[in-house]
Structure 1
Amino acid sequence: MLTRWVVVSAMSLSAVAAQAALCSEELANQVTKSNGKGAAKALAPVATAQDLAVPADAALNPMAQLQNIAREASRRSAQVGAVKLLADAAAYDVDETRGAALPQVSVTGTVGPGASRSTGIPWASGTYAGATLNVSGLIYDGGRLSQLTQWRRELAKAATFTAQSTREQVVLETISTALERNRYRQQAQVYQQYTRKMACLVDALQQIVAEDRGRASELVQVRKTQAQAEMARDAALTQMRQTEIRLRKLIGEQIGAGDGISAALGQTLDTGEVLRLMEQGSELRQMRAQSEASERYADAMSAALKPQVNWVVSSTAGLRGETKTASAQAGLSVTYSVFRGGSDQAAAAAASRRAESARQQYAELLASRAARVSEVHEAAVASFDRARRFVDILKDSDKVRAATFQQWSQLGRRSLFDVMSAEGDHFNLRIAYVNALHDGYQANAQLRSMGESLSTWLGIQGL
């Protein structure tokens, strides 16, 4: 009996050793392919070669890919187009208000039956035709129209900055979505390699179990882990496809999805630099313009309480039958509201409060944005620090898993549980490394957006 056990054990170790070289070679091939040098082969039906293949645009310059993505997203966005139209409308509002301060000319024409009578003169009736020309101009209004014009100008500036801010939001969303797609795609690649390693163990254990039925439970354990790895891979692929749908909505299918953009977002900006550029960002400039507009409107409401003085020239000419009439007038028109129930004062006070509210909102936004910059910067630094640490840990993890597999497959000194544990820890570390890197890329994209803006950095601000 002892002799038979020794023989079976020797045959089991021989079978495992035969498969060990194949598993190592398979893993090496997958590592090479995960670096973008090929597409995975012999995948499960749910994970096709197209899912894990590297798109052709990955060979492009990272900055060029970012520019292509940002430009296409800006061009296709209906939201960006809508706010641009609102900015154009605000510019026309400025012309409308400015035109009210220029001389106003109007002509009125009248035609129809009529009658007239003067003392000592009998009734005269017949068809009457007349025309009146009125020309008027502003002399003094306490600065009301000037302040209203400046109010419209500030609103137009705010609308322009809103358009820029909206475009920046679209660009940031698109780049973040592309980064998320890359995250899930790389996760799927790691899980696919894990699945293949478990498949190698399954093949080895099938040969062992053929010789030693007592180890059938080990085969069941490996198959269970293989199935779990496949489920994790399929979940990552599902998330990748869902992200691709969102990305397709943003940039269409004319250009690639930006698999190589990560390299351009590897540099973390200094906090001081971001804070210095932050106040030149479109969102804060929009708030400043709105605050200034509120102040100008409050000044206009106060000026409306003062007398309004205009010069007026009017001329009227008429014809009734054979009789022609003409008259002309010139003078000043003075308007002053003596009492309107306090509504004018209330409107001025309300406008003043809104202006103060806008100033406080700007101060609050500036403070919260500065705090947010520090948070995102800390997140970026911490993410890349974790990634660097994972690199060192992965080197040791790879040595441990290789030694554990060798001791199990060739020497029989380790249990299958040790092998499974080493493999699981290693691939979990690789997933954590992928997540840490992409968390850093996402944070760097946000820092760029909060500073000089991604659109400015990519040179598409003129779109």
Structure 2
Amino acid sequence: MNNNFHYVLTLISAGFLFAFPAAQGFAGKDDELLQFVSLADGAGAPASKSVRAEQKPTLIMTPDSIAVPAIREIPQHAGKAETQNLSAPEQNVKNGSATLPRQEEQSSRWARSTASAPRSQLAETGSASGADIRALLARAVNQAVRISPRLSSVRYQAEAAQGSVEEAKGQRWPQVDVTSSSQSLYFGSGNRPASGKNDVVSLGVNMATTLYDFGQTSSTIRAREDQASAADAAISAEAESLALDVSAALLERHKQQLIISISEDYVRRMKSLTDMLSGIVDVDQGRRSELTQARGRLLSAQASLDSAVARARDQDILLQRLLGHFEVSLPPGSEWELSVPDGARLASQIPNNPLILKALAEARAARSEAEAVRSSGLPKINWVVSKNTGQDELGRRQAFQTGVQVSWGIFRGGSNSAAERAALARAEASMQSVEEQRRDSEQRIHASLQDAGALLERAALYHNLTAETDRIRLAFFEQWYHLGKRTLLDVLSAESDYYNNRVSEVTSRVDGYASVIRGYANAGMLIQWLGKRIK
């Protein structure tokens, strides 16, 4: 009893000694304290002036330290142990710290401020339908397809391949050649014609039609058609690649924007804590080490924010290169209705993958080219019709001539057989490329879908962990600020854990959606899934 009475007298005497100057030192710090506690609970906005006027803190001195309890309400999700300690002032005095009784009005204000959290903190919890996401991505892909020089180059190559087909088909038609010669002039020694009747301008016409060439022309046409098919498949493959690049860049930029929002909240909380400790150090110089710790965490938070801003700027530059000045913004939030597709269904679409179709067409073209080279070494039978308007030495004109010509390149130094072997080797290489593309697509599909499932599950775990660390950080702040049972390092570590968990949740969820998109792209179905046809 005597010890308690002596302890109370000590408190009263210390209060009279320090209450007036300390109150002057903290007169301007009430707003910062209220703002920090509101930010720590997720409210994000300081209380109104009327509420702050009702909550002017009463300075309480203890023999060990100076405590300024600016806010005395307890959040609804605070632990039971903390609530019991704060509701028993006598027990708190025995433990070496003093607090004021909890006020019901302030508790209700805390609950209202928590319910009206700012958009920056609720941004990562929004939800959007999968149809909306696909529609926005399709708009961006359509814009990229429209202005992409890379895709335009592939299209021109396809047009060139189609022109080669028409060139090969033209060999089936009669080949007509027209020749002409001028009057001859003779000079120097030697015999000269006695008469100049044959020295007149002459015109010659020659028509040749292939009757039989052992399939050389047909094989050439098939080879050109397969090359044109490969070029068309290359357009689709390039469009799929472009769609993946645009979608991945949009998702990455959206992820960095969410991280920027979270980092800005983290910076505001650290700044509020630093400002509050700066005011406390003005009164109690012994707590300067805590201010140093808070400033260090503030600088770390600002560095994280700057890093996220830099990564977002990189994605903006990439999107400007892909889309020009076309602006596309994904819905706010990180929870979208994009489910992980069935891996077996995607794997069944691998034969329709543009890369597979391109490799198959190239293999067929190489085989047809080998057949054309083989046929070129066999005899060729042509029907020839010719006419020349010139005159012979007797002044007579020649009649039309027609006949069948046979040509056969018997020896070419082995060049025909070498060209045939080269074409067959290219065909075999293309077939091996088909098998490699099939295996690679199947492996990448399963890997993408496995990553998507794991990342989305991890995001759900981080969501629950974020809720737990949110309660922990608030409890740690109350225990440090009001009870003195926690160190500032515990408070800062809890804030860092809460920030890291929020970032990990957003990162895992958005990366999971990116893996879903990669799964469709690896199956060659991304354009089809987005619902846009490339024209």
Quickly name the TM-score band, shorter chain normalised.
Answer: 0.7 to 0.9
Which range moves more in the overlay, 379-388 or 406-415?
A: 406-415
Task: Please say if residues 444 and 522 of structure 2, whose CA atoms lie closer than 8 Å, have aligned partners that are also in contact.
Answer: no
Counterparts of 2:390 and 2:478, CA distance in 1: 114
* 1:167 counterpart (229, 232, 239): 239
* 1:200 counterpart (250, 261, 272): 272
Cα deviation, 1:319-377, whole Å, max 9, x if unaligned, reads 58994512222111111122222222222122112211211121122112211211111
C-alpha deviation, 1:382, in angstroms: 1.0
Counterparts of 2:282 and 2:453, CA distance in 1: 53
Task: Please say if residues 239 and 534 of structure 2, whose CA atoms lie closer than 8 Å, have aligned partners that are also in contact.
Answer: no
Counterparts of 2:333 and 2:525, CA distance in 1: 17
Cα deviation, 1:374-395, whole Å, max 9, x if unaligned, reads 1111111111111011111111
The 3 A distance-change label for structure 1 pair 9 and 309 is farther
Corresponding letter in the other structure for 1:416: L
Name the SS for the 2:161 alignment partner. Answer: helix
Counterparts of 1:20 and 1:206, CA distance in 2: 11
Name the SS for the 2:386 alignment partner. Answer: strand
Residue 394 of structure 1 is matched in structure 2 by 466
Residue 25 of structure 1 is matched in structure 2 by 38
Corresponding letter in the other structure for 2:497: D
The 3 A distance-change label for structure 1 pair 260 and 84 is farther
Residue 522 of structure 2 is matched in structure 1 by 450
* 2:432 counterpart (356, 360, 375): 360
Name the SS for the 1:405 alignment partner. Answer: helix
Counterparts of 1:247 and 1:21, CA distance in 2: 42
Residue 102 of structure 1 is matched in structure 2 by 173
Residue 43 of structure 1 is matched in structure 2 by none
Task: Please say if residues 355 and 437 of structure 2, whose CA atoms lie closer than 8 Å, have aligned partners that are also in contact.
Answer: no
Cα deviation, 1:179-211, whole Å, max 9, x if unaligned, reads 111111111111111111112212221232232
Counterparts of 1:286 and 1:452, CA distance in 2: 12
Corresponding letter in the other structure for 2:356: L
Corresponding letter in the other structure for 1:269: P
C-alpha deviation, 1:113, in angstroms: 2.7
* Paired positions, count: 438
Name the SS for the 2:203 alignment partner. Answer: strand
Counterparts of 2:160 and 2:18, CA distance in 1: 85
The structure with higher relative contact order (CA 8 Å, sep 6+) is 1
Name the SS for the 2:476 alignment partner. Answer: helix
The equivalences for 1:400-411 within 5 A come to 400-411=472-483
Task: Please say if residues 317 and 326 of structure 1, whose CA atoms lie closer than 8 Å, have aligned partners that are also in contact.
Answer: yes
Counterparts of 1:129 and 1:200, CA distance in 2: 102
Task: Please say if residues 35 and 44 of structure 2, whose CA atoms lie closer than 8 Å, have aligned partners that are also in contact.
Answer: no
Counterparts of 2:209 and 2:177, CA distance in 1: 12
The 3 A distance-change label for structure 1 pair 455 and 264 is farther
Task: Please say if residues 20 and 409 of structure 1, whose CA atoms lie closer than 8 Å, have aligned partners that are also in contact.
Answer: no
Residue 248 of structure 2 is matched in structure 1 by 176
C-alpha deviation, 1:92, in angstroms: 0.6
Counterparts of 1:310 and 1:6, CA distance in 2: 122
Residue 455 of structure 2 is matched in structure 1 by 383
C-alpha deviation, 1:411, in angstroms: 2.0
Residue 89 of structure 1 is matched in structure 2 by 160
Corresponding letter in the other structure for 2:528: T
Cα deviation, 1:242-272, whole Å, max 9, x if unaligned, reads 2111111111223334455966672221111
The equivalences for 1:220-235 within 5 A come to 220-235=292-307
The 3 A distance-change label for structure 1 pair 106 and 264 is farther
Cα deviation, 1:403-435, whole Å, max 9, x if unaligned, reads 111112222221111111111111111111111
Task: Please say if residues 121 and 262 of structure 2, whose CA atoms lie closer than 8 Å, have aligned partners that are also in contact.
Answer: no
Counterparts of 2:531 and 2:396, CA distance in 1: 70
Return structure 1 stretches of 4+ with deviation > 4 angstroms. 4-12, 14-21, 259-265, 319-322
Task: Please say if residues 275 and 373 of structure 1, whose CA atoms lie closer than 8 Å, have aligned partners that are also in contact.
Answer: yes
Residue 49 of structure 1 is matched in structure 2 by none
Counterparts of 2:31 and 2:14, CA distance in 1: 18
Gaps of 5+ in 2: 1-5, 46-116, 187-192
Corresponding letter in the other structure for 1:29: G
Residue 66 of structure 2 is matched in structure 1 by none
C-alpha deviation, 1:61, in angstroms: 3.5
Task: Please say if residues 244 and 521 of structure 2, whose CA atoms lie closer than 8 Å, have aligned partners that are also in contact.
Answer: yes
Task: Please say if residues 317 and 324 of structure 1, whose CA atoms lie closer than 8 Å, have aligned partners that are also in contact.
Answer: no
Residue 63 of structure 2 is matched in structure 1 by none
C-alpha deviation, 1:18, in angstroms: 7.9
* 2:509 counterpart (428, 437, 440): 437
Residue 342 of structure 1 is matched in structure 2 by 414
The equivalences for 1:22-171 within 5 A come to 22-26=35-39, 27-29=42-44, 32-34=118-120, 61-113=132-184, 123-126=194-197, 127-171=199-243
C-alpha deviation, 1:224, in angstroms: 1.2
Which range moves more in the overlay, 125-134 or 299-308?
A: 125-134
Greater fraction strand: 1
- Name the TM-score, length of structure 2 as normaliser: 0.75
Corresponding letter in the other structure for 2:258: Q
C-alpha deviation, 1:80, in angstroms: 0.8
Name the SS for the 2:44 alignment partner. Answer: helix
Task: Please say if residues 65 and 260 of structure 1, whose CA atoms lie closer than 8 Å, have aligned partners that are also in contact.
Answer: no
Task: Please say if residues 354 and 524 of structure 2, whose CA atoms lie closer than 8 Å, have aligned partners that are also in contact.
Answer: no
C-alpha deviation, 1:292, in angstroms: 0.9
Task: Please say if residues 335 and 509 of structure 2, whose CA atoms lie closer than 8 Å, have aligned partners that are also in contact.
Answer: no
Matched, 1:301 2:373: yes
The 3 A distance-change label for structure 1 pair 9 and 277 is farther
| RMSD of aligned alpha carbons | 3.1
Task: Please say if residues 377 and 447 of structure 1, whose CA atoms lie closer than 8 Å, have aligned partners that are also in contact.
Answer: yes
Counterparts of 1:264 and 1:398, CA distance in 2: 23
Task: Please say if residues 101 and 137 of structure 1, whose CA atoms lie closer than 8 Å, have aligned partners that are also in contact.
Answer: yes
Name the SS for the 1:326 alignment partner. Answer: coil
Residue 219 of structure 1 is matched in structure 2 by 291
